[in-house]
Amino acid sequence: MIRPPLISAADLQQALAQPQPPLVLDCSFDLADAAAGERSYREGHIPGALYVNLDEDLSGPKTGRNGRHPLAGRDDYARWMGDIGVVPGREVVVYDRQAAMYAVRAWWVLLWMGHPTVRVLDGGLAAWQAAGGALSQQTAQPVPAARYPDQAPQRSTIDAQQLEQRLGDVLVLDARAPERYRGEVEPIDAVAGHIPGAKNRFFKDNLQPDGRFKPAEQLRSEFLAMLDGRTPESVVNQCGSGVTACHNLLAMEVAGLGGAALYPGSWSEWSSDSARPMEKSPRL
């Protein structure tokens, strides 16, 4: 059974009190300081949570042409899932301290690998604390299991070559901040701009002021306006490196609009090849 993609802090507290509690993963990270996430984990985390590192656990080797956070191979993910104790049927809850911008990568990877029982803590660690949840400074130790069993990919992806061939046929949603999408600034990647024809859906637009996701009905209305009659299956989500694009994928699933694809390489891969088409948008 596919779980709803979000879990509230109150529901997580109840789940953790059960005889078979979920496996909780702290996915906190900082693009400007790769060690910051683990430091924040040591300073205080949900009791029993394991720390998951975006670079080391959720991404594969970089070549300089495949983006800043390329997907690892499925065999690598299967071994990693076994190493941290993810087994078929085990409930998993992922969270971070950054509006779910990194937790969504873990959520998507586990779904892609065929593990449907994974949810994102709505509102992250702030919501946990606001609900009276305690923090722990004790480093949790994984209980390893067998390598996660092979399955066909359960979420859609598209690579750069396929996307270039389908420009104009698919709707590309870019999750980056508007100024990066428009090409006015580029603080991370070598080239500013966006994939031709892409629309901007800043991932933070999925959230309420308190950091929780907007209601499903509101998200559905906003995304349907962007789709303009297209089906979710004709949508490709991307961002800078394939991470916050998963935020839009999560929001679409909350809205009942599942089926969109992820372009894992995203702008960091696309812009690494000057032969690919790129564009900038004037500020309106």
Confidence class of residue 31 from pLDDT cuts 50, 70 and 90? very high
Predicted pLDDT at 43: 97
Contacts of 278 (CB under 8 A, 6+ apart): 191, 193, 194, 195, 196, 270, 271
Structural domain boundaries in the chain: 6-130, 160-270
Task: Using pLDDT thresholds of 50, 70 and 90, give the confidence band for residue 281.
Answer: confident
Strands (E), the chain: 6-7, 23-26, 50-51, 92-95, 118-121, 171-174, 199-200, 235-238, 261-262
- Indicate the SS3 state at residue 178: helix
Strand ranges for 96-181 from DSSP E: 118-121, 171-174
Percent of the chain with pLDDT over 90: 97
Q: What are the tokens at 246?
A: 């998963």
Q: What is the pLDDT of residue 1?
A: 45
> Which CATH code for domain 160-270?
3.40.250.10
Whole-angstrom distance, CA of residue 161 vs CA of residue 114: 25
Residue tagged 């709803």 (tokens)? 4
pLDDT tens-digit readout, 121-142: 999 999 999 999 999 999 999 9
Catalytic residues: 239
6-130 against 160-270: fold identical? yes
Strands 171-174 and 199-200: parallel
Res 160 pLDDT > 90? yes
pLDDT > 80? residue 233: yes
| 280 compared with 3, residue with greater pLDDT | 280
Q: Which residues lie across from 118 on neighbouring strands?
A: 92
Question: Is it the case that residue 282 has pLDDT exceeding 90?
Answer: no
Predicted TM-score (pTM) of this structure = 0.97
Q: Which candidate, 91, 281, 42, 74, places its Cα nearest to that of 157?
A: 74
User: Measured between alpha carbons, how far is 210 from 35 in angstroms, rounded to an integer?
Assistant: 26
What kind of fold does domain 6-130 have according to CATH? Oxidized Rhodanese; domain 1 (3.40.250)
Per-residue pLDDT of 164-222, as tens digits, reads 999 999 999 999 999 999 999 999 998 999 999 999 999 999 999 999 999 999 999 99
Dist. CA 190–CA 271, nearest whole Å: 8
Is the pLDDT at 73 greater than 80? The verdict is yes
The per-residue pLDDT for 202 is: 98
Rounded CA-CA distance 58/60 in Å is 7
pLDDT over 70 (residue 284)? no
**Taking 60 as the threshold, does the pLDDT of residue 250 lie above it?**
yes
